[in-house]
Amino acid sequence: MTDGLVDYWRLLAASFRDGDAGRRATERLGASLAPILEVMVAVCSEDVAVTPRDLDGERVREMLTSHLPARVGGSEAWLDDVPDLLEEFLLFSIAQQPGVSPFEIVMAVGAARSAFQTACADPTRGRRRSDAPQVPFKRPGTKLGRNDPCFCGSGKKYKVCCAKLFDG
């Protein structure tokens, strides 16, 4: 799923770069736009690992306060533009998603802007990601087998019911 998510966010970044918001950002940032977008794609697809539909204010604050500062050097000339660009990119990304509130994204970026600057000034920020032990996610309960009854309640075996939807 991660590779697909990376490709999805890269496609969104390319569409953003080619659109009106991307042209304005290119005028403002020049060649710096590409590395900033690559960092944002990495944060959205690998660190937070969500689709635009799953974005909320808490995840946006998490991006700005811990994930983005951990991925930048801290002395980049474009560092002050990152919160604004992240806001524009995320608003572009959620534009076609029903149920995602642009207001929540804007408020989260506004609230975390100063925390982003503070985190970028912290010399130990790069160690935050690697210090935390990685705990694998384990789903509660038992694993659903292909020959088990489908979880949707149809009475069919999972392999002939919903497995076809998920396996493609």
- Segment 85-123, tens digit of pLDDT: 889 999 988 887 777 778 888 898 888 888 888 888 877
d(CA 55, CA 94): 8
Where do the structural domains in the chain lie, given as residue ranges? 2-131, 139-168
Q: What is the pTM of this model?
A: 0.68
SS3 163: helix
What is the C-alpha separation between 120 and 68, in angstroms, rounded?
A: 8
Higher-confidence position of 166 and 8: 8
Q: Is the pLDDT of residue 37 over 60?
A: yes
The amino acid at residue 77 is A
Nearest Cα to Cα of residue 62 among 95, 111, 102, 10? 111
What does residue 73 show for φ and ψ, rounded to 5 degrees? Answer: -75, -30
Q: What is the pLDDT of residues 45-72, one digit of tens each?
A: 888 888 888 888 888 898 888 888 888 8
